[in-house]
Amino acid sequence: MGAQDTRRDVLQGTLDLLVMKTLETIGPMHGWGIARRLEQVSENLLQMNQGTVYPALLRLEQAGWISSAWGTSENKRRARFYTLTAAGRRRLRVEEQNWDLMSSVIARVLRAET
């Protein structure tokens, strides 16, 4: 099994949580930076690309959980920087609690014996 075989797509429904948590932890970032951070923290087990990250950013901004503004990236290019809003912080708390509950339920089911 090669290195590429061990990489995983983000579970549906978790990308919003991961993006919001990254913005809470690091602060304002552009989309490419968010994608690289998620790959770094996951030790490259998560695959992030424009087709994955940017629709999530658009969805989160439309929901009012993040906001964006144009700025200059570290390589002097114009980039859209995303920031977690107050509503996003509240939503992040809810999503974290939901994730904790669901992951404990899944763990229980996986450990269940017949």
At residue 62, the pLDDT reads: 97
Greater confidence (73 vs 67) lies with: 67
pLDDT in tens, 74-93: 889 999 999 999 999 999 99
At residue 52, the pLDDT reads: 86
Domains of the chain: 3-111 (1.10.10.10)
Q: Are 32 and 52 in contact (CB under 8 A)?
A: no
- Report pTM: 0.84
CA dihedral 105, 59, 91, 82 (to 10 degrees): 120
Q: How many residues does the chain have?
A: 114
Q: Are 28 and 83 in contact (CB under 8 A)?
A: yes
Nearest to 82 by CA among 27, 37, 44: 27
pLDDT in tens, 50-72: 788 999 999 999 999 999 999 99
Whole-number Å distance between alpha carbons of 6 and 69: 35
Query: Token digits for 15?
Result: 């990308």
Q: Which of 6-10, 43-47, 80-84, 107-111 has the lowest mean pLDDT?
A: 6-10
